Chains A and B, each alone.
Chain A
Amino acid sequence: MVDVLPWTSEFDEYLRDESRSTGDADSISFPRTEGDIRTVMRSLYGATGPDGRPVPVTVQGARTGLAAGAVPAGGHVMNLSRANAYLGLRRDQTGSYLVRVQPGVVLAELRRHLARHTIPCAGWDAASLAALEELYAGPEQFFPTDPTETSACIGGMAACNASGARSYAYGPMRPHVASLRVVLADGDVVALRRGEVFARGRHLTLETEGGRTIELDLPTYTMPATKNASGYFVADDMDPIDLFIGSDGTLGIISELELILSPVPQVSWGINCFFGTEDDAIGFTCAVRPALAHACALEYFDAAALDILRRQRERSTAFSALPALDDAWGCCVYVELACDDEAEALADLARLRDILAACGGSEDATWVGRTDVDRECQRFFRHAVPESVNMLIDERRRTDPTITKLGSDMSVPDDRLRDVVRLYRESLAAAGLESAAWGHIGNNHLHVNVLPRDAADYAAGKRLFQTWARAVTDMGGAVSAEHGVGKLKRDFLAVMYGADHIREMAALKRQLDPYGQLGQGNLFAVDTCEGGA
Chain B
Amino acid sequence: MSGLVIDTERCVGCGRCVKACASAGVELVRREGARPVAQPTGSCIFCGACVDACPVDAIAIEKDAGASEAELASYSGIWVFAQVDDEGRVLPVALELLGRARALADVRGCTLTALLGEGPDAPQDNERALVAAGADEVIVCRDGRLAVRDAEVFAHWVCDLARACRPEAILYGATAFGRELAPGVAVRLQTGLTADCTVLELDGATGLLQQTRPAFGGNLMATIVCPAHRPQMATVRPGVFAAPEPDWSRTGTVRTVSLDAAVAPRVRVLSREAASHGRSIAEAERLVVVGRGIGSKKNLPLARELARALDAEIGCTRPLVESGWLEYAHQVGQTGVSVAPKLLVSLGVSGAIQHLAGIGGAKVHIAVNDDPDAPIFGAATYKVVGDCIEVAEALLDKLGAQR
- Chain A contacts to B: CB under 8 angstroms: 317-318, 320-321
Contacts and interface: CB of A to CB of B under 8 A. Distances in A.
4 closest Cβ contacts across the A-B interface?
A317-B324, A318-B324, A321-B324, A320-B324
4 contacts: A317-B324, A318-B324, A320-B324, A321-B324
Contacts of B324: 317-318, 320-321
A158 to B, nearest CB: 27
A320 B324 CA distance: 10
A320 B323 CA distance: 11
Interface residues of B, number: 1
B132 to A, nearest CB: 46
Contacts of A320: 324
B80 to A, nearest CB: 40
B374 to A, nearest CB: 15
A468 B324 CA distance: 41
A528 to B, nearest CB: 41
A233 B74 CA distance: 89
B358 to A, nearest CB: 25
Nearest to B297: A318
A321 B325 CA distance: 13
Nearest to A320: B324
Nearest to B323: A318
Nearest to B322: A321
Nearest to A321: B324
B316 to A, nearest CB: 16
A4 B324 CA distance: 43
A318 B300 CA distance: 15
Nearest to A316: B324
Interface string B321-347: 000100000000000000000000000
Contacts of A318: 324
B74 to A, nearest CB: 50
A321 B322 CA distance: 11
Interface string B128-166: 000000000000000000000000000000000000000
B319 to A, nearest CB: 13
A198 B148 CA distance: 84
Interface in B182-205: none
Contacts of A321: 324
Interface in B280-326: 324
Nearest to A318: B324
Contacts of A317: 324
B186 to A, nearest CB: 32
B63 to A, nearest CB: 37
A157 B324 CA distance: 32
A318 B322 CA distance: 11
Nearest to A317: B324
B10 to A, nearest CB: 35
B373 to A, nearest CB: 12
A222 B324 CA distance: 51
A37 B324 CA distance: 43
A325 B153 CA distance: 43
B1 to A, nearest CB: 40
A317 B324 CA distance: 8
Interface in B69-96: none
A508 B324 CA distance: 52
A13 B324 CA distance: 29
B247 to A, nearest CB: 49
A266 B324 CA distance: 32
A312 to B, nearest CB: 13
B13 to A, nearest CB: 27
A364 B324 CA distance: 31
B323 to A, nearest CB: 9
A317 B326 CA distance: 11
A376 to B, nearest CB: 11
A318 B323 CA distance: 8
A319 to B, nearest CB: 10
Nearest to B325: A318
B328 to A, nearest CB: 13
